[in-house]
Each structure stands twice: as structure tokens, then as C-alpha cells.
């Protein structure tokens, strides 16, 4: 009888021990599974963040490639303007995000300046003056030809628009053409309008605009 009780006690003890070991094993397996899940989730989040960053960088590069400055570089008639923008340090501004309207003087427009004017403006010591001249050709916001036309009509034949330089240009019609009058009273025609860019629109004009 005592022997039987001993056997039963040993069996119970063994069962409890096995049960405890199984419990510990299950806990360890659960812990490892949770770790694996956490690692997998962290890896997934890191991959998604990396992909998002790559996509954002790609979009940024595409935007720069289609920016106002890049459009000017690709245009046949704006080589002089591109050189002036680089000399003034404004190329980066016109590649960055934003919304601008640029009245871009053509090479012909620059050739009509008084002899020596462009050479003087592009000298390092005259950089501030060159920046001022170029900023007089830039408007914050997008104004396509139809927007310019609407502004002229709303103003009974003419309208004033403020440049990023802080001074105004006057826009009006001359027959079917839209013309821009600068601070000195000279008029420039838009010879090619609505050149779309990622950060605005470009209108090529046949004169360099000058403030008062």
C-alpha cells in the first residue's frame, strides 16, 4: 500500500514537473514569437519610411528638372537670362518649390540694352543691382495669359501687378497682344506665353523691364 502511494506521488510530481516545463516552454515560444513579430513590424516600418523618402526625393528631383530655372536653361532664346540668373544667384530660388510668374527677357531683349549695360550688371560688385533688375521680372503666384487678360479687363483696360522686388508693372492690351509697361514707361510684348513649370509659369518678353 505504501509502495503504491509512493508510485502515485512520484507520478504526480513528474506530471507537475512536466507541466511546469511545458508552461515555461510555451512562455518562451510566445516571447520569441512576439520578438519576431516586433522585429518584422520594425523592418516593415523602416522599409516603408525608406521608400517614402526615396519617392519624395524623386519627386523633388523631377520638380527641379521641370522648374522655371530648368525651363529657362532648356529654352533656345533665354541663354542670356540664364547667365544673369546664375550671376545674381537666383537660379536656386527659381528651382525651389513655390509659385511664380516670370516675364523672361529673350536674348534679343538683352541685346537691345545700351551697350555695356549687361556687362556692368553681371560684374560681382553690381550683384545687388542685377538681383533688383531680375526680381522686377518676377511675380509671386501664377498668372497665365488668361489670368493677365482677366486682370486687364477687370481694370477697364489695364492693371497693376506687384513684383517680388516690391515695385509694380502695368499690364494692358495692344490689339491681340498683352504688353507690360515698366517703371520707365517702356513696353514689352509677350512673344511666347504660358510656358508651364513645376513652380510657376514663364512668359518670354521682348524687352528687359526696368523700374523707376
Stated pTM of the model = 0.71
Cβ neighbours, 10 Å, residue 183: 16
200 within 8 A of 98, measured Cβ to Cβ? yes
Distance CA 73, CA 142 (A): 20
User: Which residues span the domain enclosing 81?
Assistant: 66-205
Q: How far is CA 170 from the centre of its chain?
A: 28
Q: Is residue 126 part of a domain?
A: yes
Distance CA 196, CA 31 (A): 58
Distance CA 106, CA 79 (A): 8
- Region label for 194, one of left (φ > 0), alpha (ψ between -120 and 50) or beta (otherwise): left
Q: What is the full per-residue pLDDT of the chain (212 aa) written as tens digits? A: 554 554 554 455 555 444 555 556 677 777 787 787 788 777 777 766 665 566 545 545 554 678 999 999 999 899 999 999 999 999 888 998 899 999 999 999 999 999 999 999 999 999 999 999 999 999 999 999 999 999 999 999 999 999 999 999 999 999 989 999 999 999 999 999 999 999 999 999 999 999 98
Name residues whose C-beta falls within 8 Å of residue 46's C-beta, 6 or more positions apart in sequence.
none
Q: Is residue 116 part of a domain?
A: yes
CATH code: domain of residue 114: 2.30.180.10
Q: Is residue 52 part of a domain?
A: no
Q: Is residue 70 part of a domain?
A: yes
Name the domain count of the chain: 1
- Give 104's DSSP letter: E
Q: Is residue 26 part of a domain?
A: no
Amino acid at each position: 500500500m505504501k509502495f503504491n502511494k509512493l508510485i502515485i506521488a512520484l507520478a504526480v510530481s513528474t506530471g507537475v514537473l512536466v507541466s511546469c516545463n511545458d508552461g515555461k516552454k510555451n512562455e518562451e515560444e510566445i516571447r520569441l514569437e512576439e520578438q519576431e513579430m516586433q522585429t518584422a513590424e520594425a523592418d516593415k516600418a523602416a522599409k516603408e519610411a525608406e521608400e517614402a523618402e526615396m519617392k519624395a526625393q524623386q519627386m523633388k528631383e523631377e520638380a527641379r528638372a521641370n522648374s522655371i530655372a530648368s525651363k529657362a536653361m532648356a529654352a533656345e532664346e533665354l541663354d542670356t537670362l540664364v547667365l544673369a540668373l546664375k550671376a545674381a544667384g537666383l537660379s536656386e530660388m527659381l528651382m525651389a518649390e513655390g509659385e511664380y510668374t516670370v516675364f523672361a527677357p529673350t536674348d534679343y531683349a538683352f541685346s537691345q540694352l545700351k551697350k555695356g549695360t549687361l556687362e556692368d550688371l553681371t560684374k560681382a560688385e553690381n550683384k545687388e543691382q542685377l538681383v533688383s533688375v531680375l526680381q522686377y521680372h518676377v511675380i509671386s503666384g501664377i498668372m497665365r495669359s488668361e489670368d493677365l487678360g482677366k486682370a486687364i479687363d477687370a481694370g477697364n483696360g489695364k492693371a497693376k501687378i506687384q513684383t517680388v522686388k516690391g515695385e509694380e508693372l502695368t499690364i494692358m492690351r495692344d490689339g491681340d497682344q498683352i504688353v507690360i509697361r515698366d517703371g520707365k514707361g517702356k513696353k514689352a510684348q509677350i512673344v511666347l506665353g504660358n510656358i508651364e513649370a513645376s513652380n510657376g509659369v514663364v512668359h518670354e518678353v521682348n524687352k528687359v523691364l526696368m523700374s523707376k
